[in-house]
Structure 1
Amino acid sequence: MSNTPHTLGEEFPGQMDKIHALKVSNPVFAQLLASYDAVNDEIHVAETNVQPTSQDHETELRKRRLAIKDQITHALSQLA
């Protein structure tokens, strides 16, 4: 989706080269990125009421996105 907030580029400014390198070399990390994008898209759909959802479900999605973001952050910190 276009104009989706919380894209990886926004969340990790200046680190897209590292993200790409890890994505290409590590299939587990690549799956983590795919999961982040999928959850982020679900949140965007809920926020824009394209597919309304309960507040509890939306909160759970946000928590899942944050947990995935933490995993991405950890993986990136291991490259330093």
Structure 2
Amino acid sequence: MPLEKHDLIHEMPESKDAIHALKTGNHHFAKLFDEYHEVDHSVHRIETGAENAGDEDLENLKKQRLHLKDQLSAMIREYES
């Protein structure tokens, strides 16, 4: 079973326009978006075996990714309302 990346556009396709608007118009959102992308990329590399890390490190990265996604999702919902 192939492992999926969890980039925000694929996670929230219905909010593609809002994500684009926030990325270009909100510096804080853009910074969090970039951080989310970097953490997601690291998780994907570990899960595919391209990079080695301990289970605890992987879990910490996944928690960080979830926390960032929660923040970004809240900003998207606020923008869309």
More helix by share: 2
Give 2:64's aligned residue: 64
Alignment partners' CA distance in 2, 1:50 and 1:31: 26
| Deviations 1:7-58 (CA, angstroms, capped at 9, x unpaired) | 1122112111100001111111000100000000000110011111000000
Q: With a CA cutoff of 8 Å and minimum separation of 6, indicate the structure with the bigger relative contact order.
A: 2
Alignment partners' CA distance in 2, 1:24 and 1:4: 26
- TM-score with structure 1 setting the length: 0.91
Give 2:8's aligned residue: 8
Aligned-pair identity in percent equals: 33
The alpha carbon displacement at 1:4 in A equals 5.2
| Equivalent pair of 1:36/1:68 in contact (CA under 8 Å) | yes
| Equivalent pair of 2:6/2:40 in contact (CA under 8 Å) | yes
- TM-score with structure 2 setting the length: 0.90
Alignment partners' CA distance in 1, 2:77 and 2:40: 22
Alignment gaps of 5+ in structure 1: none
How is 1:46-61 mapped onto 2 (pairs within 5 angstroms)?
46-61=46-61
Poorly superposed stretches of 4+, deviation over 2 Å: none
Alignment partners' CA distance in 2, 1:51 and 1:4: 16
Alignment partners' CA distance in 1, 2:4 and 2:32: 18
Alignment partners' CA distance in 2, 1:20 and 1:13: 11
